[in-house]
Amino acid sequence: MAEREPMMAEKVVPPIMEPGYTFATVTDKISSIVLTHKTPRGWYIGFGISFALFMMFLYAVSVLFVRGIGVWGVNIPVGWGFAIVNFVWWIGIGHAGTLISAILLLLKQDWRTSINRFAEAMTLFAVACAGVYPLLHLGRPWLAYWLFPYPNTMSVWPQFRSPLIWDVFAVSTYAIVSLMFWFVGLIPDLATLRDRATGRVQKVIYGLLAMGWRGSAKHWSRYETMYLLLAGLATPLVVSVHTVVSFDFAISILPGWHTTIFPPYFVAGAIYSGFAMVMTLAIPIRKFYHLEGFITMRHLQNMSKVMLAMGLVVAYGYGMEIFMGLLYSGNPHEHFQTVNRITGPYGIFYAALILCNILTPQLMWMRRTRNSVWALFVISIIVNIGMWLERFVIVVSSLSRDFLPSSWGMYAGTRYDWMTFVGSIGLFLTLLFLFLRFLPTISIFEVRAMLPAAAIKEKH
Amino acid sequence: MQQKKDRMNDEVGPIQFGSGNGFSLPVLGQDTPTTPESPDPIAAGSRDAASSEVLAFQKSVEGKSGKQYWRSIDEWAGTPEFEAYVKREYPSQVEVIVDPFSRRRFLQLMGASLALAGFSSCAYQPKEELLPYVRQPEEIVAGKPLYFATAMPMSGGAAPLLVRSNEGRPTKIEGNPEHPATLGGTDIFSQASILGLYDPERSQAVTYTGEIHSWSSFIGEIRVALGVEKSNGGQGLRILTEPVISPTLGKQIMDLLKLYPNATWYQYESAASDGAFQAAQEVFGEPVRPIYHFEKADRILSLDADFLASHPKNLRYIKDYTKKRNPEAGNTPNRLYAVETTATATGGNSDHRIPMKPSEVEMFARGVAAAIGVGAAAEVPEAFSLMIEEVAKDLKAHRGSSLVIAGDEQPAAVHALAYAMNGALGNAGSTVVFTKPLEVNPVAQLNGLRELVADMQQRKVTTLIILGGNPVYAAPADLNFAGALESVQLRIYHGLYNDETSSYCHWHVPEAHYLETWSDTRAYDGTISIVQPLIAPLYQGKSKHEVLAAIIDQSDHTSYEIVRAYWKSQGALNTEASWRQAVHDGFLKESALPAGGLTAKQTSGLLTNVTPQQQPASNTFEVNFRLDPTIHDGQFANNGWLQELPKTMTKLTWDNAAFFSPRDARNLRLENSMGSSGGDFEVDVVELELAGRKIKAPAWILPGQPDGVVTLHLGYGRTRAGHVGTATGFNANLIRNTGTPWNATGLIVRSTAERYVMAQTQTHHSMEGWNLVHETTFDEYREHPDYIHEEEPPTPRDLSLFPNWPYNGYAWGLAIDLNSCVGCSACTVACQSENNIPVVGKEQVMMSREMHWIRIDRYFTGSGDNPNGSVFQPVPCMHCENAPCEVVCPVGATVHSAEGTNDMVYNRCVGTRYCSNNCPYKVRRFNFLLFNDWTSASLKLLRNPEVTVRSRGIMEKCTYCIQRIQNAKIESEKENRLVRDGEIVTACQSACPADAITFGNINDPNSKVAKLKASKRNYSLLDDLNTRPRTTYLSVLRNPNPALKPTKTENA
Amino acid sequence: MKQIAPPLYGLLAEFDTPNELVRAARATYAAGYRRIDAFTPFPIEELSEAIGFAQNKLALIVLIGGILGGLFGFGLQYWASAITYPINVGGRPTNSWPAFIPITFEMTVLFAALAAVLGMLALNGLPQPYHPAFNVPRFALASNDRFFLMIAKADPLFTHQGTHEFLKSLNPREVSDIDE
């Protein structure tokens, strides 16, 4: 396979798909993962671990609900801690999925087809993980529904000037649209599964989900239009979502938060971390399910190039922050905050995030790195860590030292903070394992359409 | 707004407080102020339908229940049975037992035992019949509080008070503005005493070696014992009290001594200032005491006197001192030279802070004295020669309007020198006057105590009656008081708590809180102040008067009768009318002790011969012992409010520490390392050895602490204080000696491997060069009054893109004069009391979760190691017109009122904490856990019914005491007029002894607050953020001696 | 005699490659058949015009959805903040329109997206669990690797014999009846 032959990789660009597949073999290869194969032991192990972590998450949350937000490390001045850090981190990760399926679709990047399905799934699960945090971090989570505008006897309404309300709308819109995007993308494949399913139960379930899809030419034509339009809508949406998330900080007056660079730099960071996560997931999956034929080195290389680019945008963001703070703004508090971020009590975290997000990824300039699956895997994980650190530094270092030195304080996560964070990774993986087991990991019909045989040779 | 009531005058008569509420039956017998059943809360309370909570509570701690209560705390807490019991009786309390933050939940714990006691007791309550009242008593309108004048007895001078009573529950302490001794200010101790009243851990039953006994059996048994004593004139009888100020009590003791001519009476308290006493004896030949008139003083030299610390005796001093420095008042500012041996509020507020070793104070004093022409010429340390010269010059230049004040902790010589200097400077009679002592019978307390201990050791003492105080804890270690005590055959202890001393005594009689009993006392100036009860004793406490009466065979006399009887015999109050007037006012007019300007005998030995300085061994330290700023000598150790109140200079809570100067710390390699959770500091523990006795103490590095001096605060390290106070800090008494009670040399400091974590509310002490507190000198201010706005031009009103929101009608605002604030923190406690603010406990303070609505920021000015002084900045909510907090709240839980206040809608808050993040002043406080105690029976009585008790997950903050605003508006609307200026007084404002806080309607140009805001000194904090705070500050002005290095105004 | 055959819905011709299908579809359309449809395992652009399927009006639906969403988004905020619950928040005017823009945008996208998906399903008449074509066993391959062309009985030119002949002439792999 590609990564086994660096000689060839040096020269030739590896193909999007290994040659020799037919409609039938494609269908068979992908759908068999779901239908015929008996569940591999590896899956049980992976799922078991993820589910255990998920249970830990539930435990931590129960304690939180019983005892109160005080079991976390948050305090005055640092009113936001892990919860918001994780929220931003997960939302960011989600972005790559939408980006791959929507933006690359509009840009006619064929290579997206074999990764967009689970990238979208990843988006959904990441958004699900992100979604729980704003709820958990409330002092009175049982009243979370007050953030939604609903007619009530008290005739009070949400305060629409608050970025948190924008968040509510942005994130729920994002969740709904991503879900629809993912589901309609699944319909034709569900039909395939329906038609190939042997067991009665499978037939019924996939049959219901497929909604009677039969691949009619007329349906296909409307379907394609819809898919394009949806992609067109999802693209500005995905950009807006992280922009709104960045408003949570940019709208405030806190030094280090109150800055106009945040929206673009958050979006770039989101895509950055998102691609890193896709990479982190794609590499083991293709190995485990022998999908190297569909997810080829070409995909990994392209993704690493995107990461490289985004990494540079993020680096520009950091640079601009420092420039603004030290040279341009002329605001003593901004100036102090910039220095504090780098040399203050949390300076070590800042150094670490520079190492993870800026320095390490530069290795990907080298083709050898881009051709080494292991290197890419490690780098992608490092970037994920780095992006988490970035959010931590943004949230905590600004809060811990603001305008009045008298109210400065420190912040550290408690064990419940950590359990909730690690636990949410468990939630994410649990969902992912279920998806891998019960739905086609790769969009079958799109792959079919990419086969040479699918091309229409016309004479007129 | 505060209409005072006089018990005697009202229709209802005293029985109403017998019932502990305002609704008892109208009285029978107008002229018999007390009726036999009146002190019985049950009988009276049961007649009352309306105040079921008071009743229920009193029931719950009756008889049997009380027994189980006090046992459960001491013997059961933590044991499996107790846990099981709580589980069964009181499920909601289970968490408390297993809760790691047990101190945070201390109130619940006490509540648990109380309540379960209550449950078990219910079964035993006799069936009683409840009646609605037949006739509505006068003045009692449900929901409208009444105010009663009383006074909190305290050594050095009582605190005259007005106490608010809601439906018979005292709920808030206010100063008594008509009282000449304070003119309305209060201190932290009296503010917090209301919590002491409701402390469920106060001892609740007469006990003999731990067994519950009845009051009558106590009387019976001591009669027997005293009968024996009488036979030999009470040779073996000793009485140990705290210094007695109450004339009635004095009289009673005298009577007792008449009955037992051979008995002896001793007085002792940790705060004993024998130096002053001896000096007075020496130079005046009689135990007179000085009273200072700071309003007349232009130049002040303080010889280690912390006269700006929060204490009733200082309230008037603080008021006069700060008023003199208020440019708006048009006074010529005074100048304060503060010699001090540790960082104090006085030094912080001074114009010239002169830190030195305790041993150098006398040298310095002699130097100044000599320069003035008093006493023998003394050689003075080089370092101080210039200062001494200038100080003397300055003092001499202000003959008759200068003032020299010596600290209570100073030896006789320093006091004598101070007296003499005042004499020589012609201040006697003008800025300094002398009166007879407050005490009925002033003594050299430590000598007395030594004598008593000796007698006890020689088994001369057969019966010892300890009235109040806590000598077992507080006596200097070298006496080994406890050991001696055990050789006394019969030990009787009368005190508020079942504490260290009670555990060494046979009989323990619970003392009635001052809000529960009649008594009398004197304020610092000697003014007779009547102590009037507001509620019947919650736990069958007895007053000192009653106990003494019992001892002198008048056990049937009630406190009221005793006090009244005494004053009938005195000229001033012999008529019923005069008595009623005094009770109503809370004090007897013109009853201050007669003051005269005595001049000291210049010949006194104290002035001439220098006390020999024993050369301390090299690399030893000097140590000075001081009373703790918040829990005093330890009597307030179980008071959560005071424990959690940040200490004026260190901002530490829940602990005392050994203070080291930064340089000493560097030499000893002591470190204070900030922790990671917000307010926690990990510090090194040192072993301190003085005269062979050792203690371990956390070493705290305090800027401004003189090099070579270690300061220890008394009052901590209590072993039987209760769940709040026990095991907080360390007990400095354990190395304190009777010979050198306040300042000693030869302290050996050894570092240990141990570390200790302390809780501090303000971890950073410099302003980072930001103009948070504007400070300049009077001269500069006179030259450039506009200096503030030259420094930073105010943000224009039209800066915003949006139109300004109009505020017609009332526009409430607050002005805080930083030049007046001395950092005493009375406002913080007053606010805590008024607004039902919970105590969170050390662990939570370590996580930076304290709940105070108004905090006092303290910044050191000048160089880090040895600051010139410090500035104090009270920070409540700014009530910004462009409030950043409101804009980011997703549910509109914090919004603006039409009058410009920034209101919290607790019920709407979901707890995102975004408002706090976006608040540049960080004044918002969040209920991270269920901080407020919803279960303890007694604390339900404590609450201000007009303020919501916040629950878990809610943001809260200063409301400008919105409840007081509303009350005033309702009154004004009833009378169809506008609210008058000064009609609304916020809790912090009314508590402030320095009048630093002013509230009012800024739309009214004639209002006091509007005038202040018009002052050139007025500025808003972080003005450039354009938040437009309604709370603004007036800058600090200093008056340094130009001849000396001017006080640096820039910040370290 | 044979028993009565179930009523006929149409005829189904099965092809191996997309090319054959497209060619056949064109031929069929040329032959005048109109009630025709094709079934493929993946979208084939040419096919829709080959069977004479005019472009659909989905885009318009989405546009309308978007506009409605935008109006709703802003309207909600304006009504709530300025009309029914006007209150002084941080000294900002009740109608702080700049702050209302993000939500307006999100609502626009949400409604448009819903319109797109629901519109597609509605126009396609989905969900539709039953379709006669499913009666043909081999039709299961339509979601795998075979390509089908269908002429409905409802077509005016349709005769069982004739149409069967015609389809055969397009040399499919096989022609089968679709039962109702």
d(CA B268, CA B281): 18
Mean pLDDT of A382-393: 93
d(CA A383, CA A122): 17
Give the pLDDT confidence score for residue B125 in this predicted structure. Answer: 43
Is A220 in the C-facing interface, judged by CB distances under 8 Å? yes
Give the pLDDT confidence score for residue B866 in this predicted structure. Answer: 78
Q: Answer whether B910 sits within 8 Å of A143, measured CB to CB.
A: yes
Q: What is the pLDDT of residues B163-184, one digit of tens each?
A: 999 888 999 999 999 999 888 8
- Picking from B887, B891, B905, B918 by the largest number of C CB atoms within 10 A of its own CB, the best residue to mutate is B887
- Picking from B828, B860, B877, B910 by the largest number of A CB atoms within 10 A of its own CB, the best residue to mutate is B910
Q: Answer whether B802 sits within 8 Å of C91, measured CB to CB.
A: yes
Q: Is the pLDDT of residue B907 over 90?
A: yes
Contacts of C85 (CB under 8 A, 6+ apart): A155, A156, A157, B892
Q: Give φ, ψ of B343 to 5 degrees.
A: -70, 120
Of the partner residues A69, A251, A402, the one whose CB lies closest to the CB of residue B953: A69
Residues of C in contact with B800 (CB under 8 A): 91
Residues of A in contact with C37 (CB under 8 A): 216-218
Q: What is the DSSP string of B829-857?
A: HHHHHHTTPPP--HHHHHTT----SSEEE
Q: Which residue of C has its CA nearest to A191?
A: C143
The structure tokens 């709580």 sit at B86
AA letter at B530:
I
Give the pLDDT confidence score for residue A291 in this predicted structure. Answer: 80
Collapsing DSSP to helix, strand or coil, A437 comes out as: helix
**Mean per-residue pLDDT of chain B:** 84
Q: Answer whether C80 sits within 8 Å of A211, measured CB to CB.
A: no
Is A204 in the C-facing interface, judged by CB distances under 8 Å? no
**Mean per-residue pLDDT of chain C:** 86
Instruction: Give the strand pairing for B528-531 and B299-303.
Output: unpaired
Is B89 in the C-facing interface, judged by CB distances under 8 Å? no
Give the pLDDT confidence score for residue B84 in this predicted structure. Answer: 58
- Picking from C81, C87, C89 by the largest number of B CB atoms within 10 A of its own CB, the best residue to mutate is C89
Q: HSE (CB half, 13 Å, CA atoms) of B792?
A: 18
Is A378 in the B-facing interface, judged by CB distances under 8 Å? no
Q: Answer whether B802 sits within 8 Å of C87, measured CB to CB.
A: no
- Joined together, the tokens standing for residue A161 give 């000037």
Q: Answer whether A158 sits within 8 Å of B1025, measured CB to CB.
A: no
Highest mean pLDDT among A202-216, B24-38, B688-702: B688-702
- Scanning B501-656, the segments in alpha helix (DSSP H) are 544-551, 559-569, 576-585, 605-608, 640-644
Mean pLDDT of B547-575: 88
Q: Answer whether B909 sits within 8 Å of A68, measured CB to CB.
A: no
Residues of A in contact with C55 (CB under 8 A): 221, 225
Q: Is the pLDDT of residue B99 over 90?
A: no
Q: Is the pLDDT of residue B39 over 50?
A: no
Q: Is the pLDDT of residue B50 over 60?
A: no
Percent share of chain C, pLDDT over 90: 31
CA distance A155 to chain B (A): 12
Give the pLDDT confidence score for residue B49 in this predicted structure. Answer: 39
Q: Where is average pLDDT lowest: B85-99, B229-243, B259-273, B279-293? A: B85-99
d(CA A303, CA B615): 79
- Joined together, the tokens standing for residue A327 give 């040279």
Query: Which residues 221-260 in chain A show a CB within 8 A of chain C?
Result: 221-226, 229-230, 233-234, 236-237, 240, 243-244, 247
Q: Answer whether B892 sits within 8 Å of A69, measured CB to CB.
A: no
Instruction: Give the strand pairing for B709-714 and B621-627.
Output: parallel
Q: Answer whether C92 sits within 8 Å of B802, measured CB to CB.
A: yes
Is B1026 in the C-facing interface, judged by CB distances under 8 Å? no
- Band of pLDDT at residue A37, cut at 50, 70 and 90: low
Q: Which residue of A has its CA nearest to B913?
A: A79
Q: Is the pLDDT of residue B546 over 60?
A: yes
Q: What is the pLDDT of residues A315-373, one digit of tens each?
A: 999 999 999 888 888 888 999 999 999 998 999 999 999 999 999 989 989 888 888 88
Contacts of B694 (CB under 8 A, 6+ apart): B687, B688, B735
- Picking from C49, C111, C120 by the largest number of A CB atoms within 10 A of its own CB, the best residue to mutate is C120
Give the pLDDT confidence score for residue B94 in this predicted structure. Answer: 43
Residues of B in contact with A78 (CB under 8 A): 678, 848
Q: Where is average pLDDT lowest: A242-251, B553-562, B691-700? A: B553-562
Q: Answer whether B895 sits within 8 Å of C93, measured CB to CB.
A: no
Q: Is the pLDDT of residue A11 over 60?
A: no
- Band of pLDDT at residue B919, cut at 50, 70 and 90: very high
Give the pLDDT confidence score for residue A164 in this predicted structure. Answer: 94
Q: Kindly list the partner chains of chain C, i.e. chains with 3 or more CB atom pairs below 8 Å.
A: A, B
Is A202 in the B-facing interface, judged by CB distances under 8 Å? no
Q: What is the pLDDT of residues C86-136, one digit of tens each?
A: 999 998 999 999 999 999 999 999 999 999 999 999 988 888 888 888 888
Q: What is the pLDDT of residues C24-37, one digit of tens each?
A: 888 888 888 888 88
Is B920 in the C-facing interface, judged by CB distances under 8 Å? no
Is C18 in the A-facing interface, judged by CB distances under 8 Å? yes
CA distance B955 to chain C (A): 17
ipTM value, please give it. 0.90
- Band of pLDDT at residue B119, cut at 50, 70 and 90: very low
Is C32 in the B-facing interface, judged by CB distances under 8 Å? no
Query: Which residues 241-260 in chain A show a CB within 8 A of chain B?
Result: 248, 251-254
Q: Kindly list the partner chains of chain B, i.e. chains with 3 or more CB atom pairs below 8 Å.
A: A, C
d(CA B153, CA B531): 8
- Picking from A406, A414, A415 by the largest number of B CB atoms within 10 A of its own CB, the best residue to mutate is A406
Percent share of chain B, pLDDT over 90: 58
Q: Is the pLDDT of residue B790 over 70?
A: yes
- Picking from A169, A183, A203 by the largest number of C CB atoms within 10 A of its own CB, the best residue to mutate is A169
Is B996 in contact with B321 (CB distance < 8 Å)?
A: no
Q: Answer whether C88 sits within 8 Å of B897, measured CB to CB.
A: yes
Instruction: Please report the number of interchain residue pairs, chain A to chain B, with beta-carbon separation below 8 angstroms.
Output: 185
Q: Answer whether A140 sits within 8 Å of B930, measured CB to CB.
A: no
- Joined together, the tokens standing for residue A74 give 């948050």
Residues of C in contact with B898 (CB under 8 A): 88
Of the partner residues B764, B873, B875, the one whose CB lies closest to the CB of residue A408: B764
Q: What is the pLDDT of residues B922-978, one digit of tens each?
A: 999 999 999 988 888 888 899 999 999 999 999 999 999 999 999 999 999 999 999
Q: Answer whether B882 sits within 8 Å of C90, measured CB to CB.
A: yes
Give the pLDDT confidence score for residue B131 in this predicted structure. Answer: 57
Q: What is the DSSP string of B854-883?
A: SEEEEEEES-SSS-SEEEEEEE-----TT-
- Joined together, the tokens standing for residue B55 give 């009743």
Give A222 or B16, the one with higher predicted confidence.
A222
> Any idea what the Cα angle at residue A99 is, between residues A94 and A102, rounded to 5°?
125
**Mean per-residue pLDDT of chain A:** 87
Q: Answer whether B884 sits within 8 Å of C87, measured CB to CB.
A: no
What do you get for the CA distance between the two ends of chain C, in Å? Answer: 22
What do you get for the CA distance between the two ends of chain A, in Å? Answer: 39
Instruction: Please report the number of interchain residue pairs, chain A to chain C, with beta-carbon separation below 8 angstroms.
Output: 210
Q: Answer whether A226 sits within 8 Å of C117, measured CB to CB.
A: yes
Q: Is the pLDDT of residue B15 over 80?
A: no
Residues of C in contact with A29 (CB under 8 A): none
Q: Answer whether C103 sits within 8 Å of A165, measured CB to CB.
A: yes
CA distance A198 to chain C (A): 12
Give A177 or B764, the one with higher predicted confidence.
A177
Q: Work out whether the CA dihedral B106, B111, B114, B115 comes out positive or negative.
A: negative
- With residues binned 3-state (H G I as helix, E B as strand, rest as coil), the percentages for chain A, rounded to 5, are 75, 0, 25
Give the pLDDT confidence score for residue B63 in this predicted structure. Answer: 41
Residues of B in contact with A77 (CB under 8 A): 848, 916-917, 922
